Amino acid sequence: MAEETTRPPAARVGITLLDIAKEAGVHPSTVSRALDPSQAHRVREATRTQIRGVADRLGYRPHLVARGLQTGRTATIAFVAADLSNPFVTPIIHGLTGAIQNDGMMPVIAETQDDHDTFAAILDHMLSRRVDGMVVAAARLGDREILESAARIVPLVLAGRPLEGSSLPQVVHDDRLGGELAAAHLASLGHRRVAQLHGPADVANFPRRAAGFSQHASGNGMVEIASPGMANNPTAAEGERLMEDLLATGMEPPTGVFAHNDLMALGARSALGARGVRVPDDVSLVGYNNLPLVGRLTPPLTTILYPSLEVGRAAGELIIELLGGEMVKTHDLEPELIARGSTRPLTADG
Amino acid sequence: MAEETTRPPAARVGITLLDIAKEAGVHPSTVSRALDPSQAHRVREATRTQIRGVADRLGYRPHLVARGLQTGRTATIAFVAADLSNPFVTPIIHGLTGAIQNDGMMPVIAETQDDHDTFAAILDHMLSRRVDGMVVAAARLGDREILESAARIVPLVLAGRPLEGSSLPQVVHDDRLGGELAAAHLASLGHRRVAQLHGPADVANFPRRAAGFSQHASGNGMVEIASPGMANNPTAAEGERLMEDLLATGMEPPTGVFAHNDLMALGARSALGARGVRVPDDVSLVGYNNLPLVGRLTPPLTTILYPSLEVGRAAGELIIELLGGEMVKTHDLEPELIARGSTRPLTADG
DNA sequence: CTGTTAGCGCTTTCAC
DNA sequence: GTGAAAGCGCTAACAG
């Protein structure tokens, strides 16, 4: 005994396939087919255009959550950064977004703040959201297990920060070569006494840069002044601190300094300026990343190009390949020296 | 006649409530309650701890998509930017993420590239995703209707870019006052001949900054040199172009220049440098935003602080209030002059 | 305190 | 070419 239909419990918020089906006098599944580009050919043309007309008129909008529950895919890629305030991550997000947006996919963003437990919680949460894939730019050495465990469940790509001793798919950048380029550049300018400002050791980029630099330096007769410790974070404040410590040792200062990233280089510049040491007259300074603005500093900063935008794009493409079951062809993006005004030839009196 | 159970069609990927229920010998809904903090008290303690034990042992992870379909909420906030490569948006994302991440919410990011149709498509897509709210930092004048139409469906907050003639909830920043501060600063340094480098007119921030500046300038006996057009985008390249055009007019150049944002100021600096015009010796230069690095330029850039981080955070809080059905108390964030080395008192010979 | 039942909106066999 | 029926995993009435 059919009663009058009662209003559904949840406030009706949108048009559903059922609404269209009723209006068009067909079955919901027919509407589903007519509206799905890959199935539309199974529906007679007349029915199809009629259905589409009704859908447009009613302002139908597919319910991606419902579809996701059915299909198991959410058209969503997790992007996990350590610190969103680092200007180095923005271009990665930018590249990633561009690479996946065309496929209707979008990144969901979270930030670990370089805390392991937060990281673990975020990975877990992303899995609960059933993201289709993850791009991780937050890896530190201690995070390997949680990352590999997540990667067993969903395609996961490392970008921006590599991970020592892991075989996870990643967008590879040759940090070691970057370090070599920095040393080679200083060597070519005649510098002999050099020093590095080290980024944190558990972020794999930095030890690699350090190794490349040291190897080239020692192989070319340069003297590398032992560094006064290591940055806790790769920030300007830490670069400033390290540079101060170096100057405070009282030993003869280096004529060439390689800071492991641009932010640290900026901090170092401040420390040098405060001591009356001029760049590049007294000290040549090399950074890493080529952040958007460093070319406009006075003097403009010599740096190693890190192709962030391309890294983000490559990560997106990699994820999409992985989703399509394709072979993972690991992308490989080379560093490049950008010589600018913060380095100059060592003169006789320098 | 019970046959042997066949494998479910879709590859089993995770533990479900049903698995736990079977294992624990209770009904799925009891499991649901036991695991939901707000319902757990309705379950006997013994049952509850047992259920939780089983859940932990099995590695249960709630299926947020399924939950979302049932509850109508996705724990997701859309963030729509015009251009993710503008360093001005990162802090907004950062602040937003921080403000909502504690509630288990995360931003999904998309980029309009300042294209109206792309914008419309993105809004539509976000609605299809059933995001719980939207934070929009991409509004241009022509986007009003699509924004208001989206706002009728889901809580929507404007941040970063206001919208003329709209009553959408927004994080308010007083751009007009910012313009006044710039003019007042130049006036206090004795500058009389001034000019503006205008950002695009359909991004509401810029006309407001312009109006504030002009009003204060004319009210204080300054002569504002007519600008050579307007930037198509608020970028360094456009700032450079405008500054070149201004210098190329051949008329006596201004001694004080207000660029509508820092990027344009940087471009202007390059144009000035190329002509041998020194900052601040010949021209005092004021920007807007206080981007992370501009304080470290030589000379450091005088600018108006735009509190991006707080804007992002406030937008997140506003959205959460809106979701909770609270009154919208519009946040209000003031500009602030940051006087640095790119401006200096006008000397007799200047 | 727990089980039953229904259903969120969609896709997807399987029939006809 | 279209309809029927089932079910993705969960929550939320309603009983008892």
Question: pLDDT tens digits for B107-158?
Answer: 999 999 999 999 999 999 999 999 999 999 999 999 999 999 999 999 999 9
Answer whether residue A1 shows pLDDT above 80: no
Q: Of all protein residues, which has its CA closest to the C1' atom of C2?
A: B30
- Model confidence over A71-124: pLDDT tens digits? 999 999 999 999 998 889 999 999 999 999 999 999 999 999 999 999 999 999
Q: CB–CB of B107 and A104 under 8 A?
A: no
Largest CA distance in chain B: 104
Return d(Cα A223, Cα A254) in angstroms, integer. Answer: 9
Mean pLDDT of chain A: 92
For residues B66-70, give the mean pLDDT: 97
From residue B331, alpha-carbon distances to A252, B101, B328, B335 in Å are: 54, 20, 9, 13
Confidence of residue A211 (pLDDT cuts 50, 70, 90): very high
Residues of chain A (43-102) having a beta carbon less than 7 angstroms from strand D: 43-44, 46-48, 69-70
**Which residues does chain A have within 8 Å of residue B269's beta carbon, measured at their own beta carbons?**
296
Percent of chain A with pLDDT over 90: 86
Q: Give the residue range(s) of CATH 3.40.50.2300 domains in chain A.
A: 75-173+308-334, 175-306
* Architecture of the CATH domain A75-173+308-334: 3-Layer(aba) Sandwich (3.40)
HSE, side-chain direction, 13 A CA sphere, residue A224 = 20
Q: Which of B93, B95, B139 is nearest to B119 (CA)?
A: B139
Instruction: Say whether B305 sits in a helix, a strand or coil.
Output: strand
Residue A13, pLDDT score: 62
Neighbours of B94 (CB within 10 A): 23
β-strands A156-158, A133-137 pairing: parallel
A17-62 in CATH: which number? 1.10.260.40
Residue B349, pLDDT score: 54
Of A61, A89, A97, the CB nearest to B110: A97
- Model confidence over A4-62: pLDDT tens digits? 333 333 334 689 999 999 999 999 999 999 999 999 999 999 999 999 999 999 999 99
Return d(Cα B176, Cα B160) in angstroms, integer. Answer: 14
Instruction: Say whether B196 sits in a helix, a strand or coil.
Output: strand
From residue A77, alpha-carbon distances to A74, A155, B27, B47 in Å are: 8, 10, 34, 37
Residue A72, pLDDT score: 95
Percent of chain B with pLDDT over 90: 87
Token pair in block for residue B106: 């995360």
Fold of A175-306: Rossmann fold (3.40.50)
Q: Give the residue range(s) of CATH 1.10.260.40 domains in chain B.
A: 17-62
Residue A293, pLDDT score: 85
Answer whether residue B2 shows pLDDT above 80: no
Nearest chain B Cα distance for residue A128, angstroms? 5
Answer whether residue B199 shows pLDDT above 70: yes
Which residue type is seen at A191? H
**Which residues does chain A have within 8 Å of residue B87's beta carbon, measured at their own beta carbons?**
87, 90, 292-293
Residue B326, pLDDT score: 76
Nearest chain A Cα distance for residue B126, angstroms? 9
Judge whether residue B47 contacts strand C, using its CB and a 7 Å cut-off.
yes
Judge whether residue A5 contacts strand C, using its CB and a 7 Å cut-off.
no
- Model confidence over A128-161: pLDDT tens digits? 999 999 999 999 999 999 999 999 999 999 999 9
Residue B348, pLDDT score: 56
Q: Which of A83, A139, A91, A133 is nearest to A111 (CA)?
A: A83
Answer whether residue A202 shows pLDDT above 80: yes
Token pair in block for residue A127: 């899995």
Q: Of all protein residues, which has its CA closest to the C1' atom of D9?
A: B66
Residue A319, pLDDT score: 95
For residues B60-75, give the mean pLDDT: 97
Residue A228, pLDDT score: 81
Given CB atoms, is A10 within the 8 Å cutoff of chain B?
yes
Spatial contact of A110 and A137, defined as CB atoms under 8 Å apart: no
Given CB atoms, is B348 within the 8 Å cutoff of chain A?
no
Nearest chain B Cα distance for residue A127, angstroms? 8
Residue A174, pLDDT score: 96
Residue A101, pLDDT score: 92
Answer whether residue B263 shows pLDDT above 80: yes
**Residue of chain B whose Cα is closest to the Cα of A84:** B94
Confidence of residue A348 (pLDDT cuts 50, 70, 90): low
Confidence of residue A324 (pLDDT cuts 50, 70, 90): confident
CB-count burial class (<10 Å; 0-12, 13-18, 19+) for B61: middle
Instruction: Say whether B50 sits in a helix, a strand or coil.
Output: helix
β-strands A133-137, A302-305 pairing: unpaired
- Model confidence over B307-326: pLDDT tens digits? 999 999 999 999 999 998 87
β-strands A336-338, A332-333 pairing: unpaired
Token pair in block for residue B110: 């998309």
Token pair in block for residue B226: 């007519």
For residues A215-231, give the mean pLDDT: 94
- Model confidence over A242-288: pLDDT tens digits? 999 999 998 899 999 999 999 999 999 999 999 999 999 999 999 99
Nearest nucleotide, CA A18 to C1': C9
Return residues 276-315 of A near B (CB < 8 Å). Answer: 291-294, 296-299, 309
Spatial contact of B66 and B59, defined as CB atoms under 8 Å apart: no
Asked if the bond preceding B280 is cis, omega within 30° of 0, the reply is yes
Judge whether residue A94 contacts strand C, using its CB and a 7 Å cut-off.
no
Return residues 187-216 of B near A (CB < 8 Å). Answer: none
Judge whether residue B62 contacts strand D, using its CB and a 7 Å cut-off.
yes
For residues B237-265, give the mean pLDDT: 95
Given CB atoms, is A153 within the 8 Å cutoff of chain B?
yes
Q: CB–CB of A236 and B296 under 8 A?
A: yes
Mean pLDDT of chain B: 92
Read off the DSSP letter of residue A201. Answer: T
Strand C, nucleotides < 7 Å from a protein CB: these are 1-13
Confirm whether pTM is higher than 0.85: yes
Residue B347, pLDDT score: 79
- The least confident of A146-155, B204-213, B221-230, B334-343 is B221-230
Q: Which of A242, A264, A162 is nearest to A208 (CA)?
A: A162
Residue A12, pLDDT score: 44
- Model confidence over B88-102: pLDDT tens digits? 999 999 999 999 998
Neighbours of A118 (CB within 10 A): 16
Answer whether residue B71 shows pLDDT above 70: yes
Q: What are phi and psi for residue B6, nearest 5 degrees?
A: -85, 155
